[in-house]
């Protein structure tokens, strides 16, 4: 089912029509504990979404949308290596690249984490050699400048790292 065709989506659209002209300042005046109600801490990170045009009803409807759309199941499928990239018929494994735990990620019954860790180790060694000047370019001289060519998500990470 398309996410925009469900009951929760339609309820969110009706709700938006009611609150679209409400200012953030008005929302703060209406709820003295707004920051407490619209923020969360998780694993050393702090998420503050209090400065968004939303209220308790918005939050409830968004959670309803997540439930209706099967978001938890989709997240679990992504983190456990299920074949969810329908275009390429493969697992979406960028989560494995960021997994510092010792848990397994199985794809077609095979743990891919040893290979992921080996590639990350190679990438780290290469980056260290480039930074130190040990790795030489085509001219035989150390690499001083890097040109990143990418689109979408493949471009955003390096772009953020450079800023």
- pLDDT tens per residue across span 48-96: 999 999 999 999 999 999 999 999 999 998 888 888 888 888 888 888 8
CB 55 within 8 A of CB 37: no
Residue carrying the six token digits 């099967």: 70
Distance (Å, rounded) from C-alpha 84 to C-alpha 76?
Answer: 11
The answer to whether residue 28 is domain-embedded is yes
pLDDT tens profile 94-116: 888 888 888 888 888 889 999 99
Q: State pTM to two decimals.
A: 0.67
Looking at the domain assignment, is residue 27 inside a domain? Answer: yes
- Give the pLDDT band of residue 148 (cuts 50, 70, 90): confident
Helix (H) or strand (E) holding 106: strand 106-107
- Chain length of the chain: 163
Tokens of 25: 């300042």
Cα separations in angstroms, 39 against 52, 66, 72, 122: 11, 18, 20, 38
- The verdict on residue 124 lying in a domain is no
Considering its fold, how many domains does the chain have in total?
Answer: 1
- In a domain, residue 108? The reply is no
pLDDT at 108: 85
Q: What is the pLDDT of residue 146?
A: 84
Q: What is the largest CA-CA distance in the chain?
A: 66
Q: Are 64 and 80 in contact (CB under 8 A)?
A: no
12 is a domain residue: yes
Q: Which domain holds residue 34?
A: 3-69
Q: Are 83 and 91 in contact (CB under 8 A)?
A: yes
Q: Does residue 75 lie within any of the structural domains?
A: no
Percent of all residues in the chain with a pLDDT value above 70, rounded to a whole number: 91
Tell whether 127 is covered by a domain: no
147 falls in which pLDDT band (50, 70, 90)?
confident
pLDDT > 80? residue 45: yes
* 114 in any annotated domain: no
Give the whole-angstrom CA distance, residue 69 versus residue 55.
21
């Amino acid at each position: 089912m398309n996410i925009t065709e469900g009951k929760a989506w339609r309820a969110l659209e009706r709700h938006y029509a009611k609150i679209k002209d409400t200012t953030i300042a008005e929302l703060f005046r209406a709820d003295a504990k707004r920051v407490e109600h619209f923020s969360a801490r998780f694993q050393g990170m702090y998420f503050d979404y209090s400065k968004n045009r939303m209220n308790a009803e918005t939050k409830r409807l968004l959670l309803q949308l997540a439930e209706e759309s099967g978001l938890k199941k989709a997240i679990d499928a992504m983190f456990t290596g299920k074949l969810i990239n329908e275009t390429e018929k493969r697992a979406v494994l960028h989560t494995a690249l960021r997994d510092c735990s010792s848990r397994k990620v199985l794809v077609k019954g095979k743990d891919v984490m040893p290979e992921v860790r080996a590639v990350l180790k190679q990438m780290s060694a290469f980056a260290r050699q480039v930074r130190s000047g040990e790795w030489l370019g085509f001219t035989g001289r150390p690499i001083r400048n890097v040109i990143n060519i990418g689109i979408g998500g493949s471009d955003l990470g390096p772009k953020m790292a450079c800023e």
